[in-house]
Amino acid sequence: MLTIPAFILAISLLIAVHEYGHYRVALACGVQVLRFSIGFGTPIYRWQPKNSSTEFVLALFPLGGYVKMLDEREAPVEQTMRHLAFNTQPLRSRVAIVAAGPLANLALAVLLYACVNWMGVELPAPVLSVPAAQTLASQAGIVGGERVLRTGSEGQELASVRSFDDIRWALTRAGLEGEDVRLVLATADGQERDVLLELSKLPVEEVDAKLFARIGIVGPFSRPLIGQTMTGGAAQSAGFLDGDEVQSVNGQKVVDGQQLRQLIRQSGAKGIAETQSWKVLRNGQLLVIFVTPQVAKEGGESIGRIEAYVGARPEILMVRQGPLDGLVQALVKTWDMSALTLKMMGKMLTGEASLKNISGPLTIADYAGKSAGLGLTQYLIFLALISVSLGVLNLLPLPVLDGGHLMYYLWEGVTGKPVPEAWMDRLQQGGVALLMLMMFIALFNDISRLFAS
C-alpha cells in the first residue's frame, strides 16, 4: 500500500528541489520566471502569488517538471523587458542557472544523509556469516563469526568499520574499481588477523546479489534458528517449532543462518526433493528431524525451500554521529556515491558493466515502497540515493539535459560564439533519441525484474 504514495512523494520532492534550484538562481540573476511546474501535461492546480510574475503549477504527470523563463528564443520579448530574458544574460549567469538544478539535488542528498547520521540508524553489526565453499571469502580463510574491525582497498589506508553496511560499501567500490579488499578481523578468541579478498579476479558486470555470492559475503552473522513456519510447508510437516536451533544438516556442522539457508537452497539443485537429516537443539535437548525441502524455481534455477523463517535477527547496532561528523560524513557519502554512479555509467558505456544496472520508474517505485515500510531513516537513505542519481544524470553532457546546455556554454566560453542553431538542432534530436533509448532499456529491465520475481 505504501508503494504508490511513497513513490509520488519521492519523485515530487526530488523534482521540486531540482526545479527550485533553477528558479532561485534565475531570480538571483535577474531573470523573469514565467512558470514553475511540477509535472507535465494538464495542470490540476495552479496559483500565482501577489506581486509575482511566476505561476506555480502542479500537473497531471509527476515524472518531471520545468521552469519556464522569459526567453527571446521561445517568444517575442518587448524591448523594455529584454534585460529580464534568459538569453540576454551573461554566460556566467546562464551557467549558474542551468547548473543550479543538479547541484540542488546533490545538496539535498548531503542534507538527507546528514539527517540520517544525526538521527541515527539501526544497522547490522559487522560480523561475517559462514561463506559458501569456493568463494573468495572461503579461500581467504574466513569461517564465520569474525567481526570486521577495518577494511579498505589493498594499498590504501584502512577505514574503521561501524556496521555491516560499511563492509558492503567497501566491496561495492572495490568491485567496480577491480581492486582487492583487505579486512582486519577479530576472531572469537580475541585475536586479530587480516585477510585479502582478491576481487580483481572477478568479472564485475552488475553490483547485485550474485556478485556478493561470488565474494562469499552475503549477509551478517545470525544464529541458525528456525522461526515461524508456514502452514503446509516442509518445515511444519517435519515438526519444526519456533526457536529450534539447527546444529547440523546431513552431518555438516551448521554455524549461522546464512549457511543454513544456503544448504536448504542447494538441496533442490537437482530438481528432485531429497530428505535431509537435521540435528536440532530444542529446550536443551538434541533431536534428529528428517525434512524434505520443497523444490522451487528461482531465476531459472531449482532451489530447495522449507517454508519457514530461517536465521535469527542479526546483532543490531545504533549508529549515530555528532553535528559536525555527521555533516562531513554526509559530504563524503554524496561524493562517493556520485563518483560511483559516474564510474558505473562509464563502464556501461564501454561494455564493462551490464545495461541491466539501469532502473526505471517501476523499480524505483518498488524500492520507494519497501524503504518507506522499513522506517523513516531507510526512506531518507533511499531519497538521498535517488537524489544523487538525478543530480549526476542531469550533469551528463547530453543535449536534452542540463549537462548538455553546460556543454554548449563551454563551447561558447572557449570560442566566444554560441553553438550554431543547425548543430544545436541535430544535437537535440540525437539527445532525445539517446534519452528515449535509455528509458526503453530502463523500462525493459523493470519488466524483466517483475517477471523474474
Same domain for 435 and 363, yes or no, is yes
- For the stretch 158-167, what's the b/e string if a residue is b when 16 or more beta carbons lie within 10 angstroms of its beta carbon? beebebbbbb
**Bridge-partner residues for 216, per DSSP?**
none
What is the per-residue DSSP string for 305-354?
E-SEEESPPPPEEEE---HHHHHHHHHHHHHHHHHHHHHHHHHHHHTSS-
**Least confident residue range of 162-171, 263-272, 376-385:** 263-272
Predicted confidence band at 357 (pLDDT cuts at 50, 70, 90)?
low
> Can 19 be counted among the known catalytic residues?
yes
| pLDDT at position 424 | 77
End-to-end CA distance of the chain: 18
**Euclidean distance between CA atoms 284 and 286, whole angstroms:** 7
pLDDT at 126 over 90: yes
Q: Is there a domain that residue 43 lies in?
A: no
pLDDT at 440 over 90: no
What is the per-residue DSSP string for 113-151?
HHHHHHH-EEEE-SBBPPPPTTSHHHHTT--S-PEEEEE
Same domain for 252 and 185, yes or no, is no
Domain count, the chain: 3
- Determine the residue type at 178: G
Rounded mean pLDDT, 159-185? 89
**Euclidean distance between CA atoms 370 and 389, whole angstroms:** 19
Same domain for 333 and 418, yes or no, is yes
Same domain for 244 and 162, yes or no, is no
Same domain for 112 and 172, yes or no, is no
- Determine the residue type at 309: Y
- Span 285-326, pLDDT tens digits: 999 999 999 988 876 788 889 999 999 889 999 999 999 999
| pLDDT at position 364 | 67
Same domain for 186 and 230, yes or no, is no
Using alpha carbons, select from 318, 311, 266, 225 the residue that is nearest to residue 132: 266
**Euclidean distance between CA atoms 186 and 165, whole angstroms:** 17
Q: Is there a domain that residue 129 lies in?
A: no
| pLDDT at position 68 | 94
Yes or no: say if 292 and 164 are a contact pair by the CB < 8 Å rule. Answer: no
Same domain for 309 and 326, yes or no, is no
Rounded mean pLDDT, 421-427? 80
Q: Is there a domain that residue 367 lies in?
A: yes
| pLDDT at position 109 | 96
Same domain for 272 and 358, yes or no, is no
Using alpha carbons, select from 209, 132, 128 the residue that is nearest to residue 166: 128
Rounded mean pLDDT, 429-450? 72
Q: How far is CA 427 from CA 91, 208, 402, 414, in A?
A: 20, 35, 13, 19
Q: What is the CATH number of the domain that holds 234?
A: 2.30.42.10
| pLDDT at position 37 | 94
Predicted confidence band at 210 (pLDDT cuts at 50, 70, 90)?
confident
**Bridge-partner residues for 302, per DSSP?**
297
Q: Is there a domain that residue 103 lies in?
A: yes
Same domain for 438 and 390, yes or no, is yes
**Bridge-partner residues for 298, per DSSP?**
301
**What is the chain's alpha carbon radius of gyration, rounded to the nearest angstrom?**
27
Sign of the torsion formed by the C-alpha atoms of 235, 239, 241 and 243: negative
Q: Write down the catalytic residue from 19, 146, 179, 307.
A: 19
Q: Is there a domain that residue 308 lies in?
A: yes
φ and ψ at residue 130, rounded to 5 degrees: -70, 120
| pLDDT at position 71 | 92
pLDDT at 205 over 60: no
Same domain for 337 and 443, yes or no, is yes
- Out of 287, 313, 339, pick the residue that ends a domain: 313
| pLDDT at position 161 | 93
Report the percent of the chain where pLDDT is more than 90.
Answer: 45
**Euclidean distance between CA atoms 31 and 71, whole angstroms:** 9
- Out of 153, 182, 215, pick the residue that ends a domain: 215
**Least confident residue range of 98-102, 258-262, 367-371, 420-424:** 367-371
Q: Pick from 60-64, 273-277, 348-352, 387-391 the range whose average pLDDT is largest.
A: 387-391
**Euclidean distance between CA atoms 265 and 199, whole angstroms:** 25
pTM more than 0.75? yes
Predicted confidence band at 102 (pLDDT cuts at 50, 70, 90)?
very high
Q: Which three cell numbers stand for residue 363?
A: 523499480
Same domain for 175 and 236, yes or no, is no
- Out of 257, 279, 313, pick the residue that ends a domain: 313
Predicted confidence band at 178 (pLDDT cuts at 50, 70, 90)?
confident
Predicted confidence band at 363 (pLDDT cuts at 50, 70, 90)?
low
Furthest-apart CA atoms within the chain: distance in Å:
92
pLDDT, averaged across the chain:
87
Q: Is there a domain that residue 144 lies in?
A: yes
Q: Is there a domain that residue 249 lies in?
A: yes
Structural domain containing residue 253: 226-313
**Least confident residue range of 256-265, 327-336, 415-424:** 415-424
| pLDDT at position 64 | 85
Same domain for 389 and 449, yes or no, is yes
**Euclidean distance between CA atoms 428 and 400, whole angstroms:** 6
Neighbours of 351 (CB within 10 A): 9
Q: Is there a domain that residue 8 lies in?
A: no
Which of left, alpha, beta for 111 (phi over 0: left; psi -120 to 50: alpha)?
alpha
